Structures are given as structure tokens and as C-alpha cells.
Chains A and B, each alone.
Chain A
Amino acid sequence: MEFKFEGRAKLLTQILMVVGLIALIGGYLTDHSHGHQRWWANLLVNGFFYFSISVAALFFYALQYATESAWSVVLKRFFEAMWGFLPYGAAVMVIVIAAGQFHMHHLYHWMDPTLYDPTHGNYDAIIAGKSAYFNPTFFWGRTIAYLATFIGFAHFFRKWSLKEDAEPSLDLHYFQFRRSAMFIVFFAVFSSTMAWDWVMSIDTHWFSTLFGWYIFSGMWVSMIIFTNVCMLWLRSKGYFQDVNESHMHDLGKWMFAIAMLWSYLFFSQFMLIWYSNIPEEVTYYVSRLFSDEYRVPFLTMFFINFAVPFYVLLPRDTKRNPKFLLPVAFLIFAGHFADVYLLVIPGTLFNHHDFGFFEVGLFLGFLGLFINRTLTTLSKASLVPKNHPMLQESKDLHY
């Protein structure tokens, strides 16, 4: 069965993309901050948020292969579809980082070469001490390595998956199993360093060792929420009829579990820094919790991302009932966007931040583009991976 991407759904994503484009142009023209800092910061927030959802889909797909999981086989084409956004997200990230390298904005404070020059007035001993990690060659080498790894693996996973449709082969399945395990090894390192390079380095003096896992759990839960909502919609339209109540319940459980993983990592990072109260660490939370600008959003964000899924999704029945699942899904999707927003904005715009039509429009525009790319990719292949060796086991999932 093939998915046809047309009609109102396609129109809606296009309208969202137009809204995003208007926000992008209007935002640039109305942004009078130095170096269009607000415009670039929001581009980074959205680019990273949606790119990371794509990457999480890639990771989850590889995880299902590497663990030889059967339940998710009927969903696998949807995970593949989310990779459609990878090149777009990668392009946005490259544009933002390259603009920083050419000093068009100052999101990444450490990109200023005068910080490393002991004779210059801007010399910063702490940042200069990190010059081995932050020198442009090594930094760009890493960035290109992440993008090449993610896009390359996504390309080949998709190719092998479609090849399996054409000619059944158990060897190909085991080959994918081994390549998935290999991807997870790359991902284990790159998910952390990517988070350090692109997000943690904004607060250059500050560091946290579990930051990578924190970002990783955030992207993972956003991806599961997106899958869950789209799957409810696609099933109501008559697609993915092999996805039964038990699959939906499993997705609900993933949503609950990873929301708790995120909360756990958020709190672990916060609690250790709060307890030790070392100036070089605690400034990160001082700028978020003890500023009038960010205190309420930061606490609300944590409350939404932890308490709402915990209390609403704990019972079995709410995970199976879209009336509960959908509001929670929308709420914590926005919550995790707010999480990324609060990772980037306090360190780039400090107390000059503003939340208006530009931010909302850009979020909606990227959402439109993400859904558009996902559904376009989805329409390019059969929704059922018909020669997957564990397809029947997945269809029979029941408990």
C-alpha cells in the first residue's frame, strides 16, 4: 500500500512553510539587534530541534535493527520517512555555523579569534585553554563528520531497505543488523560531541558531562511524539492498518519512558550543579533561574515536560486513548521545543530576548517543512516492508 501525499494535508504544510518564509524574511528585516543575533539564534533553535528529530529517528531505527526488535517493523517506513528532513536540517546547521565562522553573528562566542591571542585585550585564558578543541579545522572536521555519518547511514539504510522489498534476502537483513550496530557506535560518540559543539559551546565557559545525553533524550522523546501523532492521523486516514492498538500502546510507553529519561537527566544535571554551587558551573542556572526573563519559562518547561507526561501517561488506559494522548503529545512537543529554545537563547540573547510572531512563525514554518519532507519521503515507497523477515511477528503483536 502506498501513501499519497495530497489534498488538504499537503496544502496545510505548504501554508505553514509560507508562514515560515514570511517570518524568516520579516524577522530579518525587523530584527535590529547587533548582527541580527535574534534572527540567527532562532534559526539555530529551529534548525537544531528539527534536525535532531531526524537524527533521533535514524538512531531509533538502528536501535530496532541492532536489537532485532520485531514490534516496530510495521512502523519502520515511517522512521525512514523522517530522514527526508536530514539534508535540510544539515543545510540550516551549516549555514548558521558558517555565518558564525564569518562573524556575521556571535552565537558562538569562541569563534572570535582575538580570544586566543594573549597580547589582545579580549584574551580569555579559559577559552584559550580549549583552543585544541575549538580550532576551526578540528571543529569543522567534526561537524562534517557528523553530517556525513548521519546522511550517509540514512542513505544506505534506506537503499538497503528498498532493496529488500525488491528481492527477499536474509543476508541483507543481517547485513543491516551489523551496519545498525556500527551506526550506534558512531552515534554514541557523535550525539554527545554534536551537542557539545553546537549547543553547549554557546555557553563557552560552562560545561556539563551529561549534556550530550540530555540533548539526546530530548531529541528522542520529540521524535517519538511526532511518530505517535502522525501514526494516529495516518491510521485514521486508512494507512498503516497493520499498526494495531498494541503498537500504539508501545509508542505511548516509549513516550512516557523517554519523557522520564529526559526528566531524570535534566534533574541530575541540575541537582549536581545546584548542590556543588561552583561559580563556573552554577552561572548557567543562575542566568536561567534567577533572571526575570527566563525563570517562569524555564520552570514551566520543566513542569510540562516532566509532570504532565508522568501523571497523565502513567495509567494504561490513557496511553491507549487519543483523547488523552494527543493533548499531552502536543503539549510536550512544544515543551521540548521550549527546552531547545532555553538552551540557546539565554546564552546568545541574554536579557534582550523577545518572543513574538517571528519565533512562532519560524517554528511553524520549520514544522511545515519537516512534515512536508517526512510525508513526501513516505509516499515514495510501500508502507509495508513486505520482505522483512519479522513482518508477521510485528503484525501479530498483542498483549
Chain B
Amino acid sequence: MNKVFHVMYDDDDKLMEAARELVGKGVHVNDVYSPFPIHGIDPIIGVKRTRLAIASFMYAMTGTSLALLGMWYFMISDWPMNIGGKPSFSLFENIPAFIPVTFEFSVLCGAHGMAITYFLRNGTLPGMPASNPDPRTTDDKFVMEIKTSNNDLDAKKLEAAIKKTALLELSIKDVK
């Protein structure tokens, strides 16, 4: 039977200190639940750098391409427009006029794509069930999650190590 430990702290500094201590003993911390981002926790518990920025860049480039494609179709190909003596019916020669819209559309796609990816990846889109172990982590408590399934140490050793930290509460649950 695998176990999951939810260790609660009442201060983010205490949690950081505990995480540093446990990681030093070879414990793998699965996740941390906190009401706000804890500065500097990522490298301690071994969270990899986010690739959200790369995703955002790709969404923005998609936006750029779509905007240019759209304007080429509307303004040049389907119904050629002559606005203010800017004819030439060529996307390239008219491109300065299309840059503001292209820019805005790139930002729109980049920002929305990034936000939706973020919510999906975190499982926090509206209507998704909360994976939060304790509602108090949305207020003023900090919970560290440790699983036996991805740790080399057994449950007893883990519990002993956890109890040496400055914890507030410890809940142990059996999971399949």
C-alpha cells in the first residue's frame, strides 16, 4: 500500500527550511501547496524551469501567421482594397499598414494561449475539481506533499524524517 504525506506548516520560511532538510536526506518532495508563490522553492524541491514561455512564443507566432494570412485574404485576395491610395494589391508592399493589427493579434494569441495552457496544465480551469489537499492552503497555511510511490525511502523512515521538521500538522493517507 502506498502512502501520501501532507505536512502542514504555518510559515513559508519553515517550509523552505524543512524542504531543504528533507531533500538533503534524499527525500523527493512531490509538490507544495501554498496561498502565494514561494520565492526560491523551485530549485529546492527540484521543479524544472517552466516551458510556458516557449509555448507562448509559439502561440504568438501562430497569431502573427494567422493575422497576416487573414489580412492577405480579406484585403488583397478576396476583395482587393484601395485605402488612401495604398493599392498595389500586394501584401508585402502594404505590410506597414498591417503591422499594428498583426502585433495586437500576436499578443492576443500569445497571452490567451499562455493563460489557457497554464490553467490546463495546473488543472485549474473553471469547473475542474480542486486537487488541493486542504482548503487552508488557500488562506494562510502551507502544505508539502510527499509520496512513497516516488521515494526510495519507506514510509516509516519518511515519517521519522518529516517529524523532525518544524511542522504544524501531519496527515497520512493510503492511496492505491
Contacts and interface: CB of A to CB of B under 8 A. Distances in A.
Nearest to A317: B49
B78 to A, nearest CB: 22
Contacts of A276: 84
Given A314-B57, A316-B53, A277 B84 contact: yes
B97 interface: yes
Contacts of A267: 96, 99
A276 B96 CA distance: 12
A202 to B, nearest CB: 24
B39 interface: yes
B126 interface: no
A141 interface: no
Interface size, B (range): 10 to 19
B84 A315 contact: no
B53 A271 contact: no
Contacts of B97: 271, 275
A399 B96 contact: no
Interface in B70-107: 84-86, 96-97, 99-100
Given A314-B57, A315-B53, A399-B39, A271 B84 contact: no
A315 B84 CA distance: 39
A186 interface: no
A275 B39 contact: no
Interface in A237-276: 267, 270-271, 274-276
A146 B18 CA distance: 58
Question: By CB atoms of chain A within 10 A, which of B40, B57, B96, B99 has the most?
Answer: B96
B91 to A, nearest CB: 15
A271 B98 CA distance: 10
Interface size, A (range): 10 to 19
A274 B96 contact: yes
Interface in B17-42: 39-40
Contacts of B39: 399
B43 to A, nearest CB: 11
A267 B100 CA distance: 10
A229 B100 CA distance: 33
Nearest to B57: A314
Interface in A112-166: none
A271 B99 CA distance: 9
A271 B96 contact: yes
A281 to B, nearest CB: 14
Given A271-B96, A271-B100, 14 more contacts: A267-B96, A267-B99, A270-B96, A271-B97, A271-B99, A275-B84, A275-B86, A277-B84, A277-B85, A277-B86, A314-B57, A315-B53, A316-B53, A398-B40
Interface of B: 39-40, 53, 57, 84-86, 96-97, 99-100
Across the A-B interface, the 10 shortest Cβ-Cβ residue pairs: A271-B96, A274-B96, A275-B97, A277-B85, A275-B84, A267-B99, A271-B99, A270-B96, A314-B57, A275-B86
21 contacts: A267-B96, A267-B99, A270-B96, A271-B96, A271-B97, A271-B99, A271-B100, A274-B96, A275-B84, A275-B86, A275-B96, A275-B97, A276-B84, A277-B84, A277-B85, A277-B86, A314-B57, A315-B53, A316-B53, A398-B40, A399-B39
